[in-house]
């Protein structure tokens, strides 16, 4: 059973709109939770890092939240751009990867 | 900006052959990782390496796999006898220390025929 589940599997939004991606995990305890952006055929690129005690972390238009009680994290993308089209991956403790959310931003 | 580099970018090999994938992590980084991603699937952790020894490994990382840091810059992944199911993109990554940004390399696409 996968310990990191992401939803939705895919998402299409219009340029300029906001969106929120979800990550539910069962790993406990854990040290850190990361969000990555991965373009097709490329290596993942770090967006945010949170320790188990942090609730929120921002990086430009990306804001990640973490609720350790419900074991949920979210990634909010503000004012989406065409270049945001990619897969977004949630990772717990550098070892447990979600399957990712495939985001497509359309003009 | 410093980056993780990997060679080769692509490798095609015959089943049963040995392959060595090479990585040059960012200098002064202390933690090193190998991951793989089968086409269309999620990234999977293989092994982490710190202070010249394996710190964690997954069940995928069986006796056919080994890692080495032969000098101060290179970090290699060896697959002794490749199988068809080893076909994947292999990513190397490194972290300076602690819970800091993890940098991934561009990957090596391995195809086993």
* Nearest chain A CA: its distance from B16 CA (Å): 26
Contact A3, A97 (CB under 8 A): no
- Angle A23-A94-A49 from CA coordinates, rounded to 5°: 65
Q: CA A102, A104, B3, B7 torsion: positive or negative? A: positive
Strands (E), chain A: 4-7, 10-14, 19-25, 32-38, 45-51, 56-59, 62-67, 72-77, 86-92, 96-97, 101-106
Helix (H) or strand (E) holding A53: none
The Cα A22–Cα A76 span in angstroms is 9
Q: How far apart are the first and last CA of chain A?
A: 37
Work out how many CB contacts closer than 8 A connect A with B: 47
* Nearest chain B CA: its distance from A39 CA (Å): 11
The secondary structure of B48-75 as a DSSP string is EEETTEEEEE-TT--TTEEEE--SSS-E
The Cα B30–Cα B99 span in angstroms is 12
pLDDT in 10s for each residue of chain B, 113 residues: 889 999 999 999 999 999 999 999 999 999 999 999 999 999 999 999 998 899 999 999 999 999 999 887 899 999 999 999 999 999 999 999 888 899 999 999 999 99
Q: Residue A31's closest chain B neighbor by CA?
A: B99
- Is B42 in Cβ contact with A41 (below 8 Å)? no
Contact A40, A17 (CB under 8 A): no
Kindly report, residue by residue over A55-87, the tens digit of the pLDDT.
999 999 999 999 989 999 999 999 999 999 999
- Is B42 in Cβ contact with A95 (below 8 Å)? no
Considering only the beta carbons, identify the residue of A44, A97, A98 that sits closest to B104.
Answer: A44
Considering only the beta carbons, identify the residue of B44, B103, B105 that sits closest to A97.
Answer: B44
pLDDT (0 to 100) of residue B97: 87
Q: Specify the DSSP class assigned to residue B84.
A: G
- Is A97 in Cβ contact with B43 (below 8 Å)? yes
> Using beta carbons and an 8 Å cutoff, which residues of A are at the interface with B?
31-32, 34, 38, 41-46, 49, 51, 89, 91, 94-100
pLDDT (0 to 100) of residue A28: 83
Contact B13, B113 (CB under 8 A): yes
Q: What are phi and psi of A83, to 5 degrees?
A: -75, -5
Considering only the beta carbons, identify the residue of B48, B56, B107 that sits closest to A43.
Answer: B107
Structural Rg of chain A based on CA atoms:
13
């Amino acid at each position: 059973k996968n310990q990191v589940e992401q939803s939705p599997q895919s998402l299409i939004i219009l340029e300029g709109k906001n969106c929120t991606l979800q990550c539910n995990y069962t790993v406990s305890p854990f040290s850190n939770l990361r969000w990555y952006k991965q373009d097709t055929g490329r290596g993942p690129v770090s967006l945010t890092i949170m320790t188990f005690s942090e609730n929120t972390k921002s990086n430009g238009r990306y804001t990640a939240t973490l609720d350790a009680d419900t074991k949920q994290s979210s990634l909010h993308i503000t004012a989406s751009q065409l270049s945001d089209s990619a897969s977004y991956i949630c990772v717990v403790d550098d070892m447990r990867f979600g399957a990712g959310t495939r985001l497509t931003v359309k003009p | 900006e410093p980056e993780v580099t990997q060679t080769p970018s692509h490798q095609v090999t015959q089943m049963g052959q040995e392959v060595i994938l090479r990585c040059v992590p960012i200098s002064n980084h202390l933690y090193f990782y190998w991951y793989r991603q089968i086409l269309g699937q999620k990234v999977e952790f293989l092994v982490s390496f710190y202070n010249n020894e394996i710190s964690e490994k997954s069940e995928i990382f069986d006796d056919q796999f080994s890692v080495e840091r032969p000098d101060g810059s290179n970090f290699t992944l060896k697959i002794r006898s490749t199988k068809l199911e080893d076909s994947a993109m292999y990513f190397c990554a490194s972290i300076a220390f602690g819970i800091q940004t993890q940098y991934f390399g561009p990957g090596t696409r391995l195809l086993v025929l």
